[in-house]
Amino acid sequence: MSLTRRILRSPLFLSSCGAAVVLGGAVFYKESISCCYKVDSKLDNVVAVVTGATNGIGLATTRKLAEAGARVIMASRNMDKCKEQRRKIVLETRNKNVVCRLCDLASLESVENFAKRIIQDKEKVNLLINNAGIMHVPPKPTVDGFEPHLGVNFLGSKRMLLHRDDKKRYMFVGPHLLTVLLLDQLKVSAPSRIVNMIDISCKRGHVNFQDLNSTKDKPQPQCVYDQSQLARVVCTRELSRQLKGKHLHTYKYVKRTGIGRQVKSKFVKVVTWPAKKIGLQAPDKAANAVLLLAVSPEFGDVSGKTFRYDRVTKTLKETEINDEAEDLRVQLRLWLTADYWTKAQKVQLLFLSLFSR
């Protein structure tokens, strides 16, 4: 047998070929689930607020908005990290109109102060991109006593106390409060858009009104995470209904990028690493879909819809979540619950009275 034939039949060669085929297929698949979009026009007159702007999709979105000339307000709870990322973005894009602002979604006071500064400065807001989120963090309650997923991903986790039937009830705030407080700025800056990032796991979610803060039973991390994602969907639908005819549009984008960096288990990280690398979008590619919803004229007359990237048509496609997300009673009930817990309307009226003089 010739040397060439021996090499071709050797286990090492065959395994190498197999690995190359698998790797090539993985690369092809990863590219097929990634959105390609480039902003055609300059965004010099656009002001965008991006939460979770120091990591993943939030960071990539901030960079792309800065490249297009927009003023970007990076809402972050880690100022040192935010300033470092801002420095890199400014050097890369030559756009100095990128600023860092402290906004910890796990704190009512921080969210209020963030919104207060924007309103006080009479700064317009054309885009609000709610991207920040956590996943599979330890079940230990926050320092304020709340289940962390629903708190940070949907409402937040700043404790307030309300006496009812001589019982103390805990309440939490965050992205919902931030959105409500910035609504007037978004309205006066119209046409404006709100893009809420959600995980595909929202399809498995269920809003448990009987134990919304997961205090009665020991919560399963995946269940409470799914609930927090569905809550974003439900309240975005209700907000869209309330804003009808006001030239302010809301969108939800189903992302396939992991925010599981909070997962502590090394075993879980090792086991899920291949799936993450192959099956999840790169943040830079996912940010293209966010920009498509945020600035493309194609979605200028659409509101309250949920989109995902379709690798067959190479565009964003409207998708349904579940029956609960479509239930008008669930939408209104959750919105009113969030408003009641956060006292969002009272804070909004207070800001109006203080800064409209």
Using CB atoms within 10 Å of the CB of residue 152, give its burial: 0 to 12 exposed, 13 to 18 middle, 19+ buried.
Answer: buried
CA angle 177, 178, 181 (to 5 degrees): 80
The full 3-state SS of 289-300, as one line of letters, equals: HHHHHHHCHHHC
Q: What is the token pair recorded at 141?
A: 């309650």
Residues 170, 225, 253, 309: which is the catalytic one? Answer: 225
Strands laid side by side in the 305-310 sheet: 98-102, 71-76, 47-51, 127-130, 192-199, 248-255, 305-310, 315-318
Residues 242, 179 contacting (CB under 8 angstroms): no
DSSP class of 210: G
Look up 225 and say whether it is catalytic: yes
Q: What is the token pair recorded at 2?
A: 């010739």
Say how many C-beta atoms besides its own lie within 10 A of residue 221's C-beta.
Answer: 17
CA distance 183 to 128: 10
What amino acid positions are annotated as catalytic residues?
225
